[in-house]
Structure formats: C-alpha cells, structure tokens
Amino acid sequence: MSANKPNLKLRKSLSLILYSKKYSFLKIQKLNLIKLISLILFWLLFFIFIDASIIEKEYILLDVKYENEKFILLDKSLEKGNFPVIKHNLDKKYEIKLVSEDGIVLYKNSFDPSFLYSDNPIGDSLSGGVIILNKAEFYIAIPSEKEGNKIEILKNGEKIFEEEIYNVGAKYCRIK
C-alpha cells in the first residue's frame, strides 16, 4: 500500500499539470483570437480612413503657355480625381492665387516654369540638371471652389496676369 501512495500523489500532480496546461492552452487561443480580431479591426478602420481620404475631388486644370515672362491661358477644364497637393514655396519666381469675387484668396501656390529639371540615365547612374527655358507649355492644377472667380499670377508681389475662371466646365456659371 505504501507503494500506491506515491503513485497516487504522482497521478494527482500529473493531472493538475495536464489540467492547467489544458486551460492555459485555451487562454493562449483566446488571447490569439482577441489579437487577431483587433488586428482585423485595425486594418479595416485603416483602409476605411485611407479610402475616405482618396475620394475623388474636382479641380481646375489650367493649360498655360509661358513665353518671355508672359502667360497665356490656352485652356481650362474641370477635372475629377485626386487633387495634387503641393505646398506653397516662397522661393519660386511666380505665385498663383485663386481669388473670390470679393477679393478673398481661396488658394495660393508658387511655381517657376522657366526651370526644367532633367535626369539622363548614363549606364548605372543618372546625370542631369536644370535647363533654363524662355518658353514652355505646362499645366497648373488648382482646387475647384464654388466662390472662385479668377486666378492671378504675381511676380514679386505684382500682378502680371489675371483670368476669370468662374465658368469652367459650366459648373459654377453666374450671370454678371
């Protein structure tokens, strides 16, 4: 009988170990399931947020000709898509503004069409630099604002070009 007592103690301790391992395995599975659900919710919310920020917006695309520091508006169109966000940079030569009928500046940015940056692949490296242009044709994108009446191009704070754009795409026609 004394031989059975240690066997009984061994069986009890083994069953407790197995019992605790069984439930710890379930706890681990439960934690992994919670982590998985949290991860799925995070990515779902992330993609909803990203998708909401990429909603197509309307913007005005201006086809502009530049020659000897003079601008001519060749065409203007109302486009749908992702408006290219470029920060206003004061070291550029020209500034463009979208202005309301009341003279309120709704948007401004700067640019310089006289600089063309080029890269030329030579073997495994790139070569290139800046080319100074006296004339160019380029596009400028500005946000489509219902109150937007005209664009102004300024050089050193002085207005050198102005064009009404309120009737782009017959979207915001107003009778004057």
Say how many domains are in the chain.
2
pLDDT of residue 13: 56
Enclosing domain of residue 86:
57-170
Same domain membership, residue 127 and residue 159:
yes
SS3 149: strand
CATH of residue 124: 2.60.40
Question: At CA 139, angle to CA 152 and CA 94, rounded to 5?
Answer: 40
Token pair of 124 as six digits = 């495994």
Task: Spell out the per-residue pLDDT of the chain, length 176, in tens.
Answer: 555 555 665 555 555 555 555 555 555 566 677 777 888 888 777 766 665 555 667 888 899 999 988 999 998 888 888 776 666 566 778 899 999 989 999 998 888 888 777 777 777 877 777 777 788 898 888 888 888 889 999 998 899 999 888 666 544 444 44
Exposed/middle/buried for 134, CB within 10 Å: 0-12, 13-18, 19+?
Answer: exposed
Same domain membership, residue 84 and residue 65:
yes
Same domain membership, residue 156 and residue 95:
yes
pLDDT of residue 89: 63
Token pair of 110 as six digits = 């700067």
